[in-house]
Amino acid sequence: MDKFRMIFQFFQSNQESFMNGICGIMALASTQMYSAFDFNCPCLPHYNLAYGLGILLVPPFILFLLGFVLNNNISMLAEEWRRPQGQRGKDPSVLRYMFCSMAQRAMIAPAVWVSVTLLDGKCITCAFCTSVPVETLGNASHSRLSQGEIQRILARIPCKEIYNGQQLIANEVAVRYLRCISQALGWCFVLLMTTLAFLVRSLRPCFSQAAFLKSRYWSHYIDIERKLFDETCAEHARSFAKVCIQQFFEGMSTDLVAARCHLPRKAPANAGEAAEKLLGITDQGTMNRALKSWHRCKPPLHLHPPALPTGNGWVGEGQPPTHPSVPRRETAAYYSWV
């Protein structure tokens, strides 16, 4: 139980760990979905290809979209992309980093589905059973059948219980042939995905490490800034509601006193603290203007205005540092008249 608690705490440590955990759970869920899926090939010439490729490609596309939906950064990316320029510029490299990061995580579950499907071989067997080379694996001299009849017989290869073309080609031979091709494609796909992941992880720091660190830093900053803004708004809403409720009950107590209903009055606790948290925003219109201003013109990412050189510092880059001026020594001479 302690191990599961430690794993859960690790997933909650930061946004990337949380999304990695979600993607891992989705990858495991994709394998469980495929194992629980009842694969039934239609065994018809014009439907086998559509059914097999549909099972191979449609669920990965759904899992890919689901990976984007479960990612909390998708709304942050859309908001940062669509917001007005305002007082803060939008860095395209940061937006690309956020999109690529989400896309890489969303691709994990689809890649697992495609790998498991190809290694199992049922989809390829169903989709390409009519393309089995009868001349090589079967009895090509069976000329009493037309091409359409041969296609109908080959389409029943995945359905062993209704297959009736043993004279044309053995069912076990055709299934093993297609399954070997499917497994070869599956292992090639796994090798390709592993090689691409290795190249991305190992070669990226060799070319653009500084740009990568910059994009990653500001991506984390946008995420943290959004969380802090939400927390500040929630705290302001709580203080606003607390002051409103206190004023409401104070007004009710005043009305009751005016109606000669003497009630014990007690000073509200922490009323001054709640009023201080309002930061001067005490009406709905002002709060709405503040929220619109935050969206339209976010403050620039510059905490202090440029200052004149003081001490051993200087303004801007490329300007030489100014050394502290040596205080001028003043001497006084005294003359005596003798």
Q: Residues 158, 164, 165, CA angle at the centre, nearest 5°? A: 85
Same-domain pairing of 13 and 119: yes
pLDDT at 325: 47
Q: Which residue, of 162, 179, 207, is where some domain finishes?
A: 207
Segment 119-135 shows an average pLDDT of 91
pLDDT at 148: 85
Residue 190: inside a domain:
yes
pLDDT tens string 204-253: 777 777 888 888 898 888 888 888 999 999 999 988 898 888 888 887 77
Residue percentage of the chain with pLDDT more than 70: 76
**What gap in Å lies between CA 68 and CA 75, rounded to an integer?**
10
For residue 37, the model assigns a pLDDT of 84
- In terms of domains, do 173 and 86 share one? yes
| 287 within a domain of the structure (yes/no) | no
Same domain, 96 and 238: no
Residues 74 and 149 in one domain: yes
Provide the token pair at 246.
Answer: 């206190």
Range of the domain at 110: 1-207
Across the range 127-138, mean pLDDT stands at 87
Domain-located, residue 103: yes
For residue 10, pLDDT over 60 is answered with no
Q: Round to whole Å and give the CA distance between 244 and 265.
A: 18
Residue with tokens 């803004």: 229
CA distances from 321 to 201, 219, 305, 314, 328 (A): 40, 33, 18, 5, 21
Contact of 178 with 121, CB cutoff 8 Å: yes
Q: In this structure, are residues 134 and 169 in contact, taking their beta carbons and an 8 Å threshold?
A: yes
The confidence score (pLDDT) of residue 52 equals 93
| pLDDT of 34 strictly over 80 | yes
What's the mean pLDDT in 35-45?
88
Number of folded domains in the chain? 2
Q: Which of the four pLDDT bands, split at 50, 70 and 90, describes residue 179?
A: very high
* Contact between residue 168 and residue 145 where contact means Cβ atoms under 8 Å apart: yes
- pLDDT class for 190, splitting at 50, 70, 90? very high
Q: Are residues 229 and 132 in the same domain?
A: no
pLDDT at 313: 44
Does one domain contain both 82 and 219? Answer: no
Q: In sequence order, what are the residues at sequence separation of 6 or more whose Cβ sits closer than 8 angstroms to the Cβ of residue 173?
A: 137, 138
- Give the model's pLDDT for residue 59: 92
Same domain, 228 and 169: no
In a domain, 280, yes or no: no
Digit-coded pLDDT (tens) for 307-337 = 555 555 444 444 444 444 444 544 444 343 4
Is 124 found in the same domain as 219? no
Is 120 part of a structural domain of the chain? yes
Q: What whole-number distance in Å separates Cα of residue 47 and Cα of residue 268? A: 75
Q: Of 185, 207, 229, which residue constitutes the final position of a domain?
A: 207
Inside any domain, residue 318: no
- Within 13 Å of residue 297, how many CA atoms lie on the same side as its CB? 5
1 pLDDT band (50/70/90 cuts)?
Answer: low
Q: Are 31 and 102 in contact (CB under 8 A)?
A: no
Residues 77 and 220 in one domain: no
Query: Of 260, 288, 303, which closes a domain?
Result: 260
**Do residues 95 and 81 touch, judged by C-beta distance below 8 A?**
yes
Res 92 pLDDT > 80: yes
* Cβ-contact 124, 53 below 8 angstroms: no
- Residue 97: name the closest of 73, 116, 67, 119 by CA: 73
- What pTM did the predictor assign? 0.71
- Whether 168 contacts 129, CB under 8 Å: no
Is residue 140 domain-shared with residue 73, that is, in the same domain? yes
Mean of per-residue pLDDT scores for the chain: 79
Label residue 170 exposed, middle or buried (CB < 10 Å: 0-12, 13-18, 19+): middle
273 falls within a domain: no
Residue 53 lies in a domain: yes
Most confident listed range (84-98, 158-172, 185-199, 317-331): 185-199
Torsion of CA 281, 284, 286, 288, to 10 degrees: 120
Question: Do 103 and 248 share a structural domain?
Answer: no
Let me know whether 151 and 249 are in one domain.
Answer: no
pLDDT at 2: 61
Task: Give the pLDDT confidence score for residue 150 in this predicted structure.
Answer: 85
Tokens of 99: 């999109």
Q: Please give the average per-residue pLDDT across 254-277, as a whole number.
A: 60
Place of tokens 């993607």: 23
